[in-house]
Amino acid sequence: MDAVRPDPARSAAAGGYNFAYLDEATKRMIRRALLKALAIPGHQVPFGAREMPLPYGWGTGGIQVTASVIGPTDVLKVIDQGADDTTNAVSIRRFFARVAGVATTESTRAATIIQTRHRIPETPLSEGQILVFQVPMPEPLFKLEPRVRESTRLHALADYGLMQVKLYEDIVRYGEVATSYNHPVMVAGRYLMSPSPIPAFDNPKLHMNPAILLFGAGREKRIYAVPPYTPVRSLDFEDHPFRPIRAPHACALCGSTESYLDEVIVDDRGGRMHVCSDTDYCRERREGRR
């Protein structure tokens, strides 16, 4: 065991807990896993995930990754479904404000670390930013091969035929690939990776992204990563190329025809409204900064 010096950042704001909740030895363990994950893009690195004061499946992996990379000068943004005001995003943001006392923001541009569930922001990320994904199931093959020992072997052999066959069967049955979110990707031509349940619309943003993309799965105890400027290809066929989809409407608030939209039910007579899922992007457009 490494000796752990008392952390000078241990603050009253954290209410008696270490800075960013996790103890320093745990953070070091997670950082090692992160470095390994960055060195082998798309490969799932096991790590000793801890019990967190939020339930498994609610972002414990992402929270542990964020807690391990965040420093007192960082500016944190947390989104869920693209929005800063969704309940779980509010809860996680409050958690870090409470245990790390860091500055938080709703602006994608102003943030140094963005923790996300199910979306990649519309505003392009830049070098130096870190995007932390909350991952429910890190194993892209789990629906086809639930046994972890077996899927590990398939990754070792880069044997991804199962997934290609699944996509092929979709095309035979439905005429197109039926995966609308969590569409699997090949990272740097070697590892098949779950992009986490982001809509297929967001998949192209993974490719050659200048930001560091970190993925944390707490319950399954895996970390993986896509380093900046890494090629990421959504799995497809030459004659059935990958096709990201969005609702064919404009945002009712900002008019965007490019952003990913949420469908809102306005009555029980079939009335619908579409609005940007990314609340910061929508606000910026309405305030005329684009």
Q: Is 276 a residue of the active site? A: yes
For residue 162, the minimal CB distance to other proteins (Å) is 12
Residue 267 touching other proteins (CB under 8 A): yes
Which of 83, 102, 135, 217 is close enough to bind other proteins by CB under 8 A?
83
268 binds other proteins (CB under 8 A): yes
Residue whose CB is less far from other proteins, 94 or 290: 94
Under rule CB under 8 A, residue 287 binds other proteins: no
Could you give the CA distance from residue 44 to residue 215 in angstroms, rounded to a whole number? 9
Asked if residue 75 lies in contact with residue 104, where contact means CB atoms within 8 angstroms, the answer is yes
- How far apart are CB 107 and other proteins at their closest, in Å? 21
Q: Is 97 in the site for other proteins (CB under 8 A)?
A: no
Nearest to 136 by CA among 117, 150, 119: 117
φ/ψ (deg, to 5) at 97: -60, -35
Q: Are 120 and 103 in contact (CB under 8 A)?
A: no
Site string for other proteins, 246-265 (x = CB under 8 A): ----------------xxxx
Residues 130 to 149: which contact other proteins by CB under 8 A?
Answer: 137, 142-146
Q: How far is the CB of 60 from other proteins (least distance, A)?
A: 11
Residue 62 annotated in active site: no
Nearer to other proteins, 75 or 252 (CB): 252
Q: Is residue 251 annotated as a catalytic residue, yes or no?
A: yes
Q: Does 90 bind other proteins (CB under 8 A)?
A: yes
- 164 touches other proteins by CB under 8 A: no
> By CB under 8 A, what part of segment 183-202 binds other proteins?
none
**Closest CB to other proteins among 32 and 246?**
246
Binding site for other proteins (CB under 8 A): 15, 52-55, 81, 83, 86-88, 90-91, 94-95, 98, 137, 142-146, 174, 178, 262-268, 270, 275
Catalytic site residues? 42, 251, 254, 276, 282
